[in-house]
Amino acid sequence: MYRLSMSVGADHHCPLPADPTLAAVATAMEDTGQVAWIVDDRWRFVYVTDDARTLWADRAGGRLGTVAIGHHIFSGESLQVGSGWRFGLTTVELWRAAFRTLGGLVLADTKGDRDQLRAVVDPALHDIIDELAPCEDAAHGYEIVAAGLPGVGDGVPAGQALVPSLMLAFRIRDGDGGLRGTALIGKPTASMSALGAMAWLRDLDHLARMDRFTRAGRHPTAVLFADLERSSALLTALSTAEYFTLGRRLVRAADQCVVDAGGVVGRHLGDGVVAFFPAVTSGSEAAAARACIVAAREMRTALGSVAERCGLPPDGLVVRFGLHWGDDVFIGQISTSARSEVTALGAAVNTAARLEASAVGGRLLVSKALLDRLGPEDAIALGIERDHLVYSRLGDLDTATPKARRDAHDVAVCEL
């Protein structure tokens, strides 16, 4: 019997199966980022890919969902472990539906012995066994219904919904044609052309950073706010179509600067952009602070190109920048049926917004709290002489807004 894996942390991965044929398939599935389960010829879990476990995740915490390695896929142990997942087959009702779908293959590999199958599957599934017909297909496609987001579905935890997905089951055989096991590969019901188009338009590293915040929590983070100044005048001077094109090009350029710097794009607020540079994804607090400044500077540089493409003079676009540091910024991902985004809450986020609103004339205001996170090598790389910086209280600036004076008057800032 394989050992029961209770590993739920990011550093605990399924060991490769001892069987070399199954191990080769497991490696291929892992290397290509498949959502896959692999069972042996007795339908015992021998491997589950990290991508599958990341989708499930455990309610108790941990990036990877627990799996019952060594136990039958429909055993009581598997059902018990599944009840602790956030998504996937989280309830007995969903496991029953999956057993009805896959049970023909399972029964065939149990030599059609229904009593033997009853001995290994959870009692909650026993009544289904008599309904099954053995299936020997080498490969077969199925629709599986699992718990997902958003909404509420019958028999699933509040905040989730019943979400159909597609599963391909194919037999794994050795060089002599002997059955070694079965691989189950899942995918959304969306076509691969639709999924491919969405993936090709996105930066995969950025998607990975977003996934880090599926579970919301507090993180030391550099926060960047940027907003277009004099937008009303531009809207008057340009046609609606021209202004839309301007906004789209500006947002695309800003997002690319954030992505290239290793940040996480937040919400687009009107003509503004919010971005986060958490230490946990940047590697350190110093790296996060440096990346935030780099992104802001690159955005400023990109303005000339956007202006030129839109038929505006080089100084036709003016963007205000506010950069601040927070030790406990609450960051999380919000996913709905229409979109997925990362957002953040906390005093540091509000303060960054106050800095941006006060950076009139296209200034780049950075708080002392953020600049203090830079290491000596970071300051040199950025061309910042920290010993010669002159700070002012935000509330003392002539351009400080009433909200800045009210909420962040004593925040030390300087212009870069």
Cα–Cα distance measured from residue 97 to residue 381, given in angstroms and rounded to the nearest whole number: 58
Task: Give the pLDDT of residue 161.
Answer: 62
Tell me the pLDDT band of 214, cut-offs 50, 70 and 90.
Answer: confident
Please enumerate in sequence order all residues whose Cβ is within 8 A of that of 171, keeping only pairs 6 or more positions apart, or say none: 137, 138, 139, 179, 181, 182
Mean pLDDT for 180-201 is 78
Q: Quote the mean pLDDT of the chain.
A: 86
* 3-state secondary structure at position 284: coil
User: How confident is the model at residue 156, as a pLDDT?
Assistant: 44
- The 3-state DSSP class for residue 350 equals helix
Q: Token pair for residue 335?
A: 């996913």
**Res 154 pLDDT > 80:** no
Given a cut of 60, is residue 70 above it in pLDDT? Answer: yes
CATH number of 203-415: 3.30.70.1230
- Given a contact cutoff of 8 angstroms between Cβ atoms, the answer to whether 204 and 311 are in contact is no
**Highest CATH level, class, for 20-189:** alpha beta
What number is the average pLDDT over the span 352-363? 94
Sketch the domain layout of the chain as residue ranges: 20-189, 203-415
Split at pLDDT 50, 70, 90, the class of 146 is: low
The pLDDT tens digits for 71-111 are 999 999 999 988 888 778 888 988 998 999 899 999 999 98
What pTM was computed for the model? Answer: 0.67
Pair 49, 29: CB distance under 8 Å: yes
Predicted confidence at residue 200, as pLDDT, reads 63
Between CA 348 and CA 328 the distance in angstroms is 8
Check pLDDT > 80 for residue 143: no
The tens digit of pLDDT for each residue in 314-353 reads: 888 899 999 999 999 999 888 766 677 888 999 999 999 9
- Per-residue pLDDT, 181: 93
Determine contact, residues 414/370, Cβ cutoff 8 Å. no
Q: Is the pLDDT of residue 11 over 70?
A: no
Give the residue-averaged pLDDT of 307-311. Answer: 88
Distance, in Å, from the CA atom of 83 to the CA atom of 89, rounded to the nearest integer, reads: 8
Among 2-16, 78-92, 195-209, 299-313, the least confident range: 2-16
Q: What is the pLDDT of residue 208?
A: 80
Give which of 99, 89, 106, 117 is closest to 182, Cα–Cα.
106
Structure confidence at residue 4 (pLDDT):
42
Residues ≥6 apart with Cβ < 8 Å to 300:
319, 321, 362, 364
